[in-house]
Structure 1
Amino acid sequence: MDVHGVAPSDRMDYNDLEHMEPKHGKALPCQDDRFDSGLESLKEDELVTDLEHLRVSEELVHDYEPWRGVVTDDGDTLLHLAIIHEAADRAQQMIKLSHNHPFLNAQNHQRQTALHLAVITEQPHLVEQLLKAGCDPRLADDCGNTALHIACKKGSLACFGVITQTNQRHLASIISFPNYSGQNCLHVASIHGYISLVENLVGLGADINAQEQCSGRTALHLAVDVQNPALVRRLLDLGADVNCLNYGGFTPYHLTYGRQNDDIRRQLYEKTAQELRALPDSESDESDMEDLDLTEDEVGLYDDIKFG
C-alpha cells in the first residue's frame, strides 16, 4: 500500500487511459497541517514510472477527453499527479489543453486543486500557468485553506507573489478569506513569523486589526502568543492597534502576563492605554482572595486559578 492507500495491483496504467472510468470517493476529514497529500512517499512510488508513459497530444483535443476523467482512489487527476511528481512538461501540456476548463479546478479527496499542489510543491511557474488558464484561487481545501493560505504557511514568497500579482480581480476576497480555524492569510503569516509576508499583505490592503474568528485575536495578539518581538515591533510600526480587545476582553499587553519576553512587554506597555494595562477584574479577584481565610500553602494552590 502507498501513502494514498492504493495497492500496487490497483495502480492505473497510463498507457490505456481511454478504457478507464473515473473513480469517486468521500472527502477525508480535515487533518490540520496536512498539506502534502503524501507527496514525499508518492514521489518514490511506481506511479513515477507510470507517469513517464503519459502522452497528451494535440490530437486528443475534443469536447470529451478520456484522460480528464481519470481519477485515483484519492481523487487525484492526472494533472494532480503530474504536479505531485514534478513532471512539469506533462502538467504544462494538460494546462494548455484545458484552458478555462472545469478540469483545472478538480479537487481530490482533501479538496486540493492543482493550484494547491503547485504551491505545496513550490512550483511558482505552474502556479502562474494555472491561474492564467483559469484555475480559481478562491477554492479551499478540507481545512478551509486557499492556495494563498498555504503560501503564507510555507513562507513561499515566490508563490505568494504570483498569486497576488495574477489575481487582482479576487485579491481582496482571498486576502480576507478565513479558513476553518477562522484565520485569514495575515493571521497565518503572523503565526509562522513571516514578517516579509505580513508587510506585503498589509501593503496589499489586508486589515492589520482583523480578528480571527475563534477568539478574536488580531495579528498583534498572535505575535505575542508566539513570542516574536521582531514581529510585534513591525506590526506596531505598521499601525496595529495595541488597545484592540479579543473576545475575552484582553489586549495584546494582557497576553504578556506569565510569559518571559520582557522586550515584548515593554513595547506594549508604553503604547497600551493606562486603563487597559491591568488584567480585567484583577482588583476584584485580589479583594476576593483577601476575604478568604487561607493559609500560605492554600493561597499557593489558588495562584494559577486566580491568574487564569
Structure 2
Amino acid sequence: MDGHRVSYNGQMDYNLDNMEPKHGKMLPCQEERFDSGLDSLKEDELSQDFEELRLSKIEDPAHEYEPWRTAVTEDGDTLLHLAIIHEATDHALQMIKLSHNHPFLNVQNHQRQTALHLAVITEQPQLVERLLKAGCDPHLSDDSGNTALHIACKKGSLACFSVITQNCQHHLTSILSFPNYSGQNCLHLASINGYVSLVESLVQLGADINAQEQCSGRTSLHLAVDLQNPTLVHCLLDLGADVNCFNYGGFTPYHLTYGRQNEEIRCQLYQRTAQELRELPESESEESDMEEDSSSEEEVSF
C-alpha cells in the first residue's frame, strides 16, 4: 500500500503517506488489528486534517453533510475512527457531540468495526460511554461477529464492560446471548480467557450459565475443564452450572477430566455428577471410524 487517502465529496484528497506511529507505539496486527490497515498517523497531523475539514459551519449540528462526516480512508475509516485509534480524544468528543443520533456514529470500516468497537479495543471507557449515550448501536458486530461487549469480555476490560452493561440495560439480554461467528457468546469468551470476575458479573446480569457454544456444544463449565482452570470450575459450580449437561459429542464436564491431570477439578465434578454419567460413553462410531480409516488407506495405496 503506497499510502492512504482521505477523500470527501470528490473535492480533494488528503494524502497520509509516511506517517509515523503516535508516541512510537506499534499498532497490533492479525486478530487484534483495529486500524483497518492504516499504517500510522500523528495526532498533530490528524488535528491539522480535522481543522482543514471543519469549514465555517461545523459548529452547527443542523448541517447533516459536513465534509468531516463523509471523509473516509481507503480502508473505510472515518475521521472518528482515526481520532479514536490515535487517542485524539478532544476531536473524538467533538465529533460525537455534533453527531447525536446521527448515522455517522455507526459507520463501519472494512473490518466492520464501528467507533464503539475501536473505543473498547483502545481501552477508552470515557468514549465508550459518550458513544452509547449519543446513539451508537451496541448490537453491531465486526467481521468476526463480535459486538463491542464481546470484545470487552475477550480483552478482560472491566471498565469498558461496566460502561456498556450500565448503558445498555434495555438491550442487555439480547447482547448477552448473541453468538459471534465462532458460535461463542460473551460468557464463553470470558470463560475461555479465564476472567473469573467477568464470568461472575455476566451470570449476575442474566447470562445463561449453561448456554452451549454453537460449534461443539460446550458450556462454560466444559470450557473451564478443557482449560484446566480449577478456580473457574469452582466459580461456575458455585454459580449453579449444570454438571450433567452434555456437549454435542455426548460428554459431560466430568468426562472431560479423563486423561487430564488436575485432580482438584476431577474431585469437584465427581461429587456432583450423576453416578450414571461418570463413566465415559461407549463410542458407537468407533467401529465405523476404523472401517473408514481402512478404506482411506486402501484408496491411498491404490
Band the TM-score falls in, shorter-chain normalisation: 0.7 to 0.9
Q: Does residue 1:180 correspond to 2:175, yes or no?
A: no
Which residue in 1 is equivalent to 2:245? Answer: 244
Q: 1:193-244: per-residue Cα shift (whole Å, max 9, x none)?
A: 0000000000000110011111110000000111110000000000000000
Q: Report the alpha carbon displacement of residue 39 of structure 1 after superposing the two structures with TM.
A: 8.4
Q: Report the alpha carbon displacement of residue 11 of structure 1 after superposing the two structures with TM.
A: 3.7
Q: 1:97-133: per-residue Cα shift (whole Å, max 9, x none)?
A: 1000000000000000000000000000000000000
Give the distance between the partners of 1:46 and 1:159, measured in 2 at CA: 25
* Equivalent position amino acid for 1:189 in 2: A
> How many corresponding residue pairs?
267
Q: 1:175-199: per-residue Cα shift (whole Å, max 9, x none)?
A: 1100001000000000000000000
Question: What's the TM-score once normalised by structure 2's chain length?
Answer: 0.82
Residues 156-305 of structure 1 mapped to structure 2, 5 A cutoff: 156-281=157-282
Give the distance between the partners of 1:217 and 1:33, measured in 2 at CA: 26
Maintained 8 Å contact 1:183/1:213? yes
**1:46–1:33 Cα change, 3 Å:** closer
Q: Report the alpha carbon displacement of residue 49 of structure 1 after superposing the two structures with TM.
A: 3.7
Give the distance between the partners of 2:254 and 2:122, measured in 1 at CA: 38
Q: CA RMSD in A?
A: 2.5
Which residue in 2 is equivalent to 1:141? Answer: 142
Give the distance between the partners of 2:193 and 2:134, measured in 1 at CA: 31
Gaps (5+ residues) in structure 1? Answer: 23-31, 289-308
Give the distance between the partners of 2:187 and 2:157, measured in 1 at CA: 14
Q: Does residue 1:36 correspond to 2:9, yes or no?
A: no
* Equivalent position amino acid for 1:152 in 2: C
Which residue in 2 is equivalent to 1:293? Answer: none
Which residue in 2 is equivalent to 1:84? Answer: 85
Q: Report the alpha carbon displacement of residue 35 of structure 1 after superposing the two structures with TM.
A: 3.5
Gaps (5+ residues) in structure 2? Answer: 15-28, 288-302
Q: Report the alpha carbon displacement of residue 134 of structure 1 after superposing the two structures with TM.
A: 0.3
Give the distance between the partners of 1:40 and 1:281, measured in 2 at CA: 50
Maintained 8 Å contact 1:18/1:66? no
Give the distance between the partners of 1:40 and 1:138, measured in 2 at CA: 24
* Equivalent position amino acid for 1:37 in 2: F
Q: Report the alpha carbon displacement of residue 66 of structure 1 after superposing the two structures with TM.
A: 1.3
Give the share of equivalent positions with the same residue, in percent: 71
Maintained 8 Å contact 1:208/1:240? yes
Deviates more, 1:125-134 or 1:276-285: 276-285
**1:46–1:196 Cα change, 3 Å:** closer
Give the distance between the partners of 2:278 and 2:284, measured in 1 at CA: 12
SS at match of 2:233: helix
Higher relative contact order (CA 8 A, sep 6+): 1
Q: Report the alpha carbon displacement of residue 17 of structure 1 after superposing the two structures with TM.
A: 8.5
Question: What's the TM-score once normalised by structure 1's chain length?
Answer: 0.81
* Equivalent position amino acid for 1:222 in 2: L
Which residue in 2 is equivalent to 1:297? Answer: none
**1:37–1:197 Cα change, 3 Å:** same
Which residue in 1 is equivalent to 2:11? Answer: 19
Maintained 8 Å contact 2:152/2:158? yes
